[in-house]
A and B are shown apart, each in its own frame.
Chain A
Amino acid sequence: MTDNRFVNRSELIGILLLAVFLVVILPLCLDVFRLNLVAKYLTYAFVALGLVICWGYGGILSLGQGVFFGLGGYCMAMFLKLEASSVENTKIQSTPGIPDFMDWNQITSLPLFWKPFHSLSFTIAAVILVPGIFALIIGAAMFKRRVGGTYFAIITQAVAAILTILIVGQQGYTGGINGMTDLRTLKGWDIRPDHAKIVLYFFEVGCLFVCIFIAQFIRHSKLGRILVAMRDKEDRVRFSGYSVANFKIFAFCVAAIFAAIGGAMFALNVGFMSPSFVGIVPSIEMVIYTAVGGRLSILGAVYGTLLVNFAKTSLSESFPELWLFGLGGLFIAVVLAFPNGLAGIWGDYVHPRIDRLINSSKPKSGDGWTDSSVADGAPAE
């Protein structure tokens, strides 16, 4: 890997294949209901993508990505909820014009921190900045003190637990355990009918590709190499004069912002936000998506998320009482047999054969999904 372009030939092919899969094949094969499910799955792909940067390359295992997914999602949901709570929609309440859950909790006027969410541009800024700044604070507090590895993972879990308790406890302001439901329109445009679902799906896929390119760029830049170096031998990087903490903070913030964009997409596509995405269990699930896809592979993260969620949906539809066992079995099988996930399967078995078929004379060049210079590195944690 000597070229400095942020995407090489075989990676470009991989990205194009994914684009064809998401933009052409899935919309043609699936009805709107299933397509909307894919849109929901893809919101987690943003998180998985962030984890590839932060965990796969940076070696920072965060078990609290649900926090950022939730923050992004709640920012978006607050905007949508305010729009759905117009005075005429909420006539039945004792205080019309405020979200229904506030009325149930005897709050009689809109709290101050809700007011800016009347504005869409503020909301979009908040979706990125609130989780970004939050990650900056956590990251600075941890990495400057050289807290890393398992301790960092535990702290992210604690943050996830704290935020869940906060959201559930402050139900007058957040909707509590019910979350924010019944989100209807975006700037007067109804997000619920079928054609809106299709538009939202393509919009989301567009955003996902922007994030994929950003991830590609980070990975191939000097920054990406420092991340990998730091993961494998943190002290050497520090002795070479780099500020390890700043690079870690950066990777963590990028992962947080990706997760937050996913959360905002979730609120738009599903019309719903609830604390059940913020806690420890969903956060760990998000790490599993990355692990199944292969934590070193940017595209693998997307495929891993899709695979796990498809399995989840179809297993639970076919075996409503036993499906969790099937899903657990799938995780164990993938992790035991293919430690590098789907990308490992592709890189080790499928891709070499295709290569051999196409040009058997040339030596093996850089492969599509896994960057060999990175994939060979020992796992950091």
Chain B
Amino acid sequence: MSDEINKGLQSAFRRKLLMGMAAIPALTMLPRPSFAQAPATSAINTTGLAVTDTEVTVGILHSATGTMAISETGSIEAEKLAIEQINAAGGVLGRKIKFIQEDGASDWPTFAEKAKKLLVNDKVAAIMGCWTSASRKAVLPVVEQYNGMLYYPTFYEGLEQSKNVIYTGQEATQQILAGLNWIAKEKGAKSFFFVGSDYIWPRTSNKIARKHVENVLKGKVVGEEYYPLGNTQFNSVINKIKLTKPDVIFTDVVGGSNVAFYKQLKAAGIDLSKQALLTISVTEDEIDGIGGENIAGAYACMKYFESLDNPNNKAFVPAFQKMWGAKTVIGDVTQAAYLGPWLWKLTVEKAGSFDVDKIATASPGVEFKGAPEGYVRIHENHHLWSKTRVGRAKLDGQFELIYETADLVEPDPFPKGYQ
């Protein structure tokens, strides 16, 4: 059904997009003039991928069902939008992108099974997919074994680097350090209280944050608590927060637990306009569930906010909402997911080939100037250079940009001194 809607929207998009695209210098860099013949399939696809003279197939692999669907839907939508826009602008090496969507069903082994199906059966040229670290860890051996290319959108814990993955989200140091520096300087914060969900991402992020607080900022971590995924009882930790009176509450509670956490904070009389709270896990998507009135005043450390004021984002947000509804909000990961198909397209055109090995080698240095977050470039380690931004949650569920790093922050998935 969504395909039909897409087709209807396509022509409306096209004119606007072509105008917008002309402004993207990345495209004007292409060596060949746009009316040139597309290169022969045999030359640009030597490994038997699903590439024909007119089409190239990619896979979209996210949870459309299950507990993660609420988070991953945004990524699916963003990837479909990017594919739509790329096709409207002429496709990749003269080929239209066709996608096969598979459902990971919020179940990690299913992710592995579907990734294998996409690579072995469908011979997709790339997979846009995964969300949680667990799903990525399940898929990683598969893409490495069958030599696929995965574009992974979520901010994550780092400690990983693969020839077969491009990480379009931030790794932990990129997301955390600049934010902690900012809040320490701005609020004179010395004491921090960590609250997280109990799995690898919050634990690794908090480990990095703790080292930074203790060694660099010379502050103190007065508490560190973890709760199982889906937990809804935060009263005991809130009591501890009230007792220890930290300068900053630093949270990486994920998913539905956030709703309970912020409501209970408010009910316990902790006023976020006075008590500084820095979260690395709440985007516009989560605020939709939490409710702006429960979280207004909190700071979030991300690389993208829907409210960013730049020409790319001014074109991206209306295009997204036109395709998926005016009320849809766009969070950090959704934007990162949008980068995936674009980076892949630019890399394929740089490499002049769909071959995974050539894409993997050509990836470092690929830059996307049309990114809604501004400008991104792929690092040698297959992560992105990107800015760190701090936003403050408003009543209407949007973030107001408070601070951004002057330069792009280098991705450092294996940070020395933080392990």
Contacts and interface: CB of A to CB of B under 8 A. Distances in A.
Contact of A272 (B103, B138, B204): B138
Given A33-B121, A316-B103, A171 B200 contact: yes
Contacts of B101: 320
B229 A320 contact: no
A165 interface: yes
Given A101-B200, A104-B204, A33 B120 contact: yes
Contact of B199 (A178, A317, A320): A178
Interface string B101-132: 11101011110111011001100000000000
A258 B377 CA distance: 52
B103 A182 contact: no
A320 B60 CA distance: 11
A168 B197 CA distance: 11
B140 interface: yes
A245 to B, nearest CB: 35
Contacts of A277: 109
A66 to B, nearest CB: 13
Contacts of B138: 178-179, 181, 272, 274
Contacts of B134: 177-179, 274
Nearest to A180: B137
A321 B117 CA distance: 17
Interface residues of B, number: 36
Interface in B195-223: 198-200, 203-204, 207
A270 interface: yes
B199 A168 contact: yes
A365 B229 CA distance: 55
Nearest to A282: B107
B199 A177 contact: yes
Interface in A68-119: 92, 94, 101, 104-106
A40 B116 CA distance: 13
Given A33-B117, A177-B134, A271 B198 contact: no
Nearest to B197: A177
Interface in A233-286: 270-272, 274, 276-277
B414 A92 contact: yes
A339 interface: no
Nearest to B110: A316
B401 interface: no
A12 B110 CA distance: 35
A271 B199 contact: no
A317 B112 contact: no
B228 A169 contact: yes
Given A33-B116, A182-B141, A320 B203 contact: no
A320 B64 contact: yes
Given A178-B199, A179-B134, A168 B105 contact: no
A33 B116 CA distance: 8
A178 B137 contact: yes
Contacts of A313: 113
A27 interface: no
A104 B102 CA distance: 30
A317 B140 CA distance: 21
A199 B138 CA distance: 23
A65 to B, nearest CB: 17
Interface in B131-154: 133-134, 137-138, 140-141, 145
B37 interface: no
Nearest to A183: B141
B38 interface: no
A181 B120 contact: no
Contacts of A352: none
Contacts of B107: 276
Contacts of B108: 178-179, 272, 274, 276
A17 interface: no
B207 A106 contact: yes
Given A33-B121, A40-B113, A270-B112, A169 B198 contact: yes
A321 B65 contact: yes
B200 A176 contact: yes
A344 B229 CA distance: 41
Contact of A37 (B102, B113, B137, B198): B113
B159 interface: yes
B419 interface: yes
A317 B105 CA distance: 11
Contacts of B103: 316, 320-321, 323
A366 B270 CA distance: 73
Nearest to B105: A316
A324 interface: yes
Interface string A147-172: 00000000000000000010011010
Interface in B73-111: 101-103, 105, 107-110
A165 B227 CA distance: 11
A192 interface: yes
A175 to B, nearest CB: 9
Contacts of A169: 198, 228
Interface of A: 31, 33, 37, 40, 92, 94, 101, 104-106, 165, 168-169, 171, 176-179, 181-182, 192, 270-272, 274, 276-277, 313, 316-317, 320-321, 323-324
14 contacts: A104-B204, A171-B203, A177-B200, A179-B138, A181-B137, A181-B140, A270-B109, A276-B108, A277-B109, A313-B113, A316-B105, A323-B65, A323-B103, A324-B105
Given A94-B419, A323-B103, 15 more contacts: A104-B159, A104-B200, A168-B198, A168-B228, A169-B228, A171-B199, A179-B108, A179-B137, A181-B140, A270-B113, A272-B109, A272-B141, A274-B134, A277-B109, A316-B103
Closest 7 CB pairs of A and B: A320-B103, A178-B134, A182-B141, A33-B120, A177-B199, A321-B64, A181-B137
